[in-house]
Amino acid sequence: MCGILLAIGDVFRSDFAAALARLKSRGPDASEVLAHSAALLGHARLAVIDVAGGRQPMTADHGRLAMVYNGEIYNFAVLRRELEAAGHAFATRSDSEVLLTGYVHWGEAVLEKLDGMFAFAIHNARDGSVFLARDRLGVKPLFWGEHASGFVAASTLAPFFALTSFPKKLDPQGLRDYLAFQTPLAPHTLVRDIHALPPGACLRWKTGEGGAVRQWWMIPDATGKAPAREALVEETDLLLAHAVKDQLVADVPLGAFLSGGIDSSLVVHYMAKAGARPLKTFSVRFAEAGFDESPHARAVAERYGTEHHVFDAPELDAATLAAALADLDQPLADPAYIPTWALSRLTRQHVTVALSGDGGDELFGGYRRFLDGADRYPDSVGKRLLSSLLRHGLAPASLRRRALAGAELLLYRRVELGDYPGSRKDLRRFLAPEVARASRPEHTLELWRKLASRHGNYDRGALLRADLWTYLSENCLAKTDRASMAHGLEVRVPLLANALQDRMLRLPANVHFDSGGGKALLRALARRHLPETVWNRDKHGFSVPLRVNFAGPWLEWGDAQVTAAKMRAPWLDAAAIAALWQEARQGRGNVRLMYTFAVLLAWLETHPLEG
């Protein structure tokens, strides 16, 4: 796992070393730079496979191609044998060389053969082109920007802020998405000239011609009928066992995050079954009963005899909060990032690689919102009448939610702020008028709406698929990636292995739901393999008690962020944020929205943007 950087253009050369240094935590083992024709390629390496070899940047085809790559290709041994049979020879045991040789042999079609998590950039010295690609579901991040006849691509936004010539101007649409979803959604970022490569996408760029993004992988629709439930449970059991075993390949110490929930506990089960020894597990202990799952994690650890390590969440004070947020390349307002960051710090003291249960809820239907469908919110004469009155200004805007039905009410429930004038979710309440217009609030749900409608009529299957390229990729996976790589820890997500994606996404969504709710297949496996304390209880989220923290250990920190709002973000309505904070500091009001603004303001202290 690594940090990658590529820059084309003389304007970026003097700052390149400083920009690469911003990726040091992602690759603490080595830092190397290659001048390749007009391009500079930089690589910060976390050595996991072929520690002695596999150094990057890596070249191929007599020096024509140079690559920097971040990730793990789990089927690299299979691909290597196929390439060797085609006449290619290898100098290392690394998956990096397999990837680059595969690109030489198959071209862009190599993407369809890769099973893993990856983001990479390849420069062609002959024609001056650059090829970028990101894995199917965006487990690994990749950003790019074009400016002043030059081009930059990097693992995170952090290197861009070290490039003095690269403009740092606010992207109002990235801000809109952040305030709606607590994270910017690809292709937007908080910076106007920097773009996130979407999950499952690639880009070919060339000087003087620019570049075009295309989807190399699309989320599939369900096809055909599902087999009988017991047969499907057996099949899923085998797929999970193979996925976990495949992801145990490493030349460094390896462990697992263990929350005590079904997903991470099943990962530990399959690790033990595959013979992982010593098996080290890591979890967080909260003082508040509604947040603490540590007893359930302990039960799993005891069943499999793991070497179990626990981090005490009461240590998440203001100093820890500030340190964790300082490691974000752009704001991410999922409170679970903070304990994940602290857990990663603890975990890295013992192992270099950890497996996690990320993706289980999204791929196997684990969220309560998947139980919702447009048909649960029927339209009515009263709603249509109220909608008409609102359009003509004859009813108070605060009633806007009551006029919504079907998909529109479903979408309203999905966002924190959006295009709902006069309501409590009105984005315009918190923005300066000119920024509110530029953010185009009417497009708040454009991507989510496009995905949900592409795969059905806002039914369960459509809702599940829409989450994959929004909530999963840009929130859940981004959270784990930033939190873990801040400490040089590689985290793998076996529940999102290609074979599981291919099988689960081809099934009708209803196979994941029964009288007990969602995630029926994983619950069936949990009953088979895990202690009852894990599966016979209500689902817990992994987060922190914001109300308690805002009124206690984070109080002074919150005061400082709100006080600085006018100076750091003149394009926000400081008075509206101050009013929100007055409630939050007393443990009342919309504390999640207040956290969203506080994280943004803290980030802007070290990443100032022009309006």
Position with higher pLDDT, 431 vs 372: 431
139 & 10 share domain? yes
C-alpha–C-alpha distance, residues 220 and 204, integer Å: 24
The answer to whether the peptide bond before residue 331 is cis (omega within 30 degrees of 0) is: no
CATH code of 485's domain: 3.40.50.620
Task: Out of 164, 193, 215, pick the residue that ends a domain.
Answer: 215
User: How high is the mean pLDDT of the chain?
Assistant: 93
In this structure, which amino acid lies at residue 185?
Answer: L
CATH code of 129's domain: 3.60.20.10
> Is the pLDDT score of 220 beyond 90?
yes
Rounded to 5 degrees, φ, ψ at 70 are -125, 125
Helix (H, G, I), strand (E, B) or coil at 32: strand
C-alpha–C-alpha distance, residues 594 and 256, integer Å: 32
3-state helix, strand, coil in the chain (%, to 5): 45, 15, 35
Q: What is the pLDDT of residues 23-62, one digit of tens each?
A: 999 988 889 999 999 999 999 998 787 777 788 999 999 9
Q: What is the pLDDT of residues 295-306, one digit of tens each?
A: 889 999 999 999
34 & 154 share domain? yes
Residue-wise burial string across 50-65, b where 16 or more C-beta atoms lie within 10 A, e elsewhere: eeeebebbbbbeeeeb
328 & 383 share domain? no
Two tokens, residue 22: 């911003």
DSSP state of 369: G
Q: What is the pLDDT of residue 245?
A: 96
Task: Out of 184, 215, 246, pick the residue that ends a domain.
Answer: 215
Position with higher pLDDT, 290 vs 466: 466
- Is residue 224 domain-resident? no
Q: What is the pLDDT of residues 61-76, one digit of tens each?
A: 999 999 999 999 999 9
Is the pTM value of this prediction over 0.85?
Answer: yes
C-alpha–C-alpha distance, residues 367 and 450, integer Å: 20
The answer to whether the peptide bond before residue 187 is cis (omega within 30 degrees of 0) is: yes
Kind plus residue range of the DSSP H or E element containing 579: helix 574-584
C-alpha–C-alpha distance, residues 58 and 69, integer Å: 9
Position with higher pLDDT, 286 vs 550: 550
**For the chain, what is the domain count?**
4
Q: What is the pLDDT of residue 272?
A: 96
- Is residue 576 domain-resident? yes
364 & 379 share domain? no
69 & 11 share domain? yes
Task: Out of 535, 559, 584, pick the residue that ends a domain.
Answer: 535
- Is residue 305 domain-resident? yes
Q: What is the pLDDT of residues 229-249, one digit of tens each?
A: 999 999 999 999 999 999 998
Two tokens, residue 607: 């990443």
First vs last Cα of the chain: how many Å apart?
35
> Is the pLDDT score of 539 beyond 70?
no
- Is residue 222 domain-resident? no
- Is residue 394 domain-resident? yes
Residues 6+ apart with CB under 8 A from 236: 500, 503, 521, 522, 525
C-alpha–C-alpha distance, residues 35 and 397, integer Å: 59
Q: For residue 237, what are the CA distances in angstroms to 234, 240, 241, 475, 550?
A: 5, 5, 6, 27, 43
Q: Tell me how many degrees the CA angle 103-107-112 measures, rounded to the nearest 5.
A: 85
Give me the mean pLDDT over the 324-341 stretch: 95
- Is residue 582 domain-resident? yes
Q: Domain residues for 429?
A: 374-456
Percent with pLDDT over 70 in the chain: 97
C-alpha–C-alpha distance, residues 215 and 398, integer Å: 40
337-348 vs 477-485: helix crossing angle, rounded to 10: 40
SS3 string, 312-352, reads EHHHCCHHHHHHHHHCCCCCCCCCCHHHHHHHHHHHHCCCC
- Is residue 541 domain-resident? no
Q: Residue 557: how many CB atoms within 10 A of its CB?
A: 18
C-alpha–C-alpha distance, residues 337 and 478, integer Å: 9
Helix (H, G, I), strand (E, B) or coil at 362: helix
73 & 121 share domain? yes
Percent with pLDDT over 90 in the chain: 76
137 & 27 share domain? yes
466 & 415 share domain? no
C-alpha–C-alpha distance, residues 396 and 462, integer Å: 33
Give me the mean pLDDT over the 588-592 stretch: 94
Position with higher pLDDT, 181 vs 291: 181
Q: What is the pLDDT of residues 335-386, one digit of tens each?
A: 999 999 999 999 999 999 999 999 999 999 988 888 877 888 889 999 999 8
Two tokens, residue 452: 């949900």
254 & 136 share domain? no
Residues 6+ apart with CB under 8 A from 83: 90, 98, 101, 102, 105
- Is residue 540 domain-resident? no
400 & 318 share domain? no
Q: What is the pLDDT of residues 387-422, one digit of tens each?
A: 888 888 889 888 898 999 988 898 899 899 999 998
Pairing of strands 39-45, 30-36: antiparallel
Q: What is the pLDDT of residue 540?
A: 61
Q: Are 90 and 101 in contact (CB under 8 A)?
A: yes
Q: What is the pLDDT of residues 142-198, one digit of tens each?
A: 999 998 879 999 999 999 999 999 999 999 999 999 999 999 999 999 999 999 999
DSSP state of 56: S
In this structure, which amino acid lies at residue 565?
Answer: A
Q: What is the pLDDT of residue 516?
A: 84
C-alpha–C-alpha distance, residues 287 and 98, integer Å: 47
DSSP state of 120: E
Q: Using 50, 70 and 90 to split pLDDT, how confident is the model at 541? A: low
Give me the mean pLDDT over the 212-217 stretch: 96
287 & 169 share domain? no
Q: Are 286 and 338 in contact (CB under 8 A)?
A: no
Two tokens, residue 57: 């940047």
109 & 173 share domain? yes
Q: Using 50, 70 and 90 to split pLDDT, how confident is the model at 290? A: low
> Is the pLDDT score of 287 beyond 80?
no
Pairing of strands 194-196, 201-206: unpaired
